[in-house]
Amino acid sequence: MPSALHHLSLKQKLILFSLVPLLMMSFFILTRMHGLINESHSAKHNHLAVQTTVQITELLYQLQNEYGLSTNQLPADNALVAQQQATSNAFNTLLNSKPLAHLSEALDPNSIEASQMNALLDAITLTGHRLANARQTLASETQSPFTDRYSQLHTQLLQLIQQLQLQTNEISQSRAYTDLLNLLMVQELAVKERSAINHLLLSDSLNLNDYRTIGSFMYEYGRAVMHASNAAISDRKSLLQNLQDSPENQRILQISQQIEQQTRISALAQNINANLGYGGLMGSFQDYLLKGDNVSLQNLIARWRRFIST
């Protein structure tokens, strides 16, 4: 190498030595350009994911509105019919959206992510069509087909958001997805709790099982709020707290507390009626009057102790 350099002119030597920093600079420039291209692709993907997430949450909102109206109104009610149309429009908007199509096209067709995404979209499409057919059962006494399809579609939409969360490399966006999923679960339980309360208030008769159902929703809702608050970052914690402190939510909380108190009263009354009526204390007392033996007396005393302990 030194002998070869000796045969070069000074100009050639200067040109040769200047190539080294130029090559190094070119390498760093190409590396930076590659990083910027990846960041651009990632930003574009995240933007499409956010647009799709907005459409999913809009469908969930319309779907929950329909659920609330379906459990408390007649199938031919104008408000319910309009809401069903709004839900169908949001459903079609999501499935035919360009951001969702671009997200699917960006995935490697042979990857597990693409397979899971396509399978989930097919399942959502099928459930949406079945939900439309299940709306016809609202005129019957049972709403189980509609409720089952509603719950199934709601779960699948949350799974779709989870799929989008797994596709992002941004930590902040992944945390935002986690907070969103927690808030959507709180929102879903709030919808079911309020629908159960409305159903109870509009009912002509009181059923203890309805009180217990509401109590179960209240418990799950409280746990979901606590979990969302503990998992959320500071600014979203304050937002969640503001929602909890709103006058509307406080009013619902008062109604829930009254229902919880009524549940205890109803359970106590039912227990007293079971121990006091025939087959209970009155039956044992009548049996003692007819027989007057020690066995019937002991049964009467045992019934009495059981009654006063309720």
Identify whether 35 is part of a domain: yes
Identify whether 125 is part of a domain: yes
Read off the tokens for 287. 């049996």
Place of tokens 């930590």: 171
pLDDT at 140 over 70: no
Long-range pairs of 261-270 with CB within 8 A, sequence gap ≥ 24: 262/211, 263/208, 263/211, 263/212, 263/214, 263/215, 266/206, 266/208, 266/211, 267/208, 268/310, 270/208
Q: Are residues 66 and 105 in the same domain?
A: yes
pLDDT tens track for 13-45: 667 677 777 777 777 777 777 666 666 677 788
Q: Are residues 135 and 263 in the same domain?
A: no
Q: Is 196 exposed, middle or buried (0-12, 13-18, 19+ CB in 10 A)?
A: buried
Q: What is the distance between the alpha carbons of residues 243 and 184, in angstroms, rounded to a whole number?
A: 14
Q: Which residues lie below 8 Å from residue 124, measured CB to CB, with a gap of 6+?
A: 95, 153, 156, 157, 160
Place of tokens 């006091």: 276
Q: Are residues 161 and 230 in the same domain?
A: no
Please measure the distance between the N-terminal and C-terminal CA atoms of the chain and give it in whole angstroms.
104
Identify whether 165 is part of a domain: yes
Q: Are residues 86 and 150 in the same domain?
A: yes
User: What are the phi and psi torsion angles at 298 (to 5°)?
Assistant: -65, -35
Q: Are residues 39 and 162 in the same domain?
A: yes
Tell me which of 115 and 252 has the higher pLDDT.
Answer: 115
User: What are the phi and psi torsion angles at 170 (to 5°)?
Assistant: -85, 125
- pLDDT band at 207, cuts 50/70/90? low
Q: Are residues 38 and 156 in the same domain?
A: yes
Q: Which of 66-80, 180-194, 274-288 has the lowest mean pLDDT?
A: 274-288
Tell me which of 295 and 117 has the higher pLDDT.
Answer: 117
Q: Are residues 265 and 197 in the same domain?
A: yes
Q: Are residues 229 and 253 in the same domain?
A: yes
Q: Are residues 158 and 61 in the same domain?
A: yes
Amino acid at 108: D
The pTM of this model reads 0.69
Number of structural domains (the chain) is 3
279: part of which helix (H) or strand (E)? Answer: none
Q: Are residues 204 and 249 in the same domain?
A: yes
Tell me which of 152 and 21 has the higher pLDDT.
Answer: 152
Q: Are residues 161 and 194 in the same domain?
A: no
Identify whether 11 is part of a domain: no
The CATH number of the domain where 60 resides is what?
A: 1.20.120.230
Examine the fold and report which residue of 146, 169, 192 is the final residue of a domain before the chain moves on: 169
Q: Are residues 108 and 202 in the same domain?
A: no
Tell me which of 300 and 126 has the higher pLDDT.
Answer: 126
Identify whether 308 is part of a domain: yes
Examine the fold and report which residue of 169, 194, 220 is the final residue of a domain before the chain moves on: 169
**Could you tell me the residue range of the domain that residue 284 belongs to?**
277-310
Read off the tokens for 183. 């808030």
DSSP code of residue 136: G
Instruction: Identify the CA nearest to 136 among candidates 83, 72, 70.
Output: 70
Identify whether 16 is part of a domain: no
Strand segments (E) across the chain: none
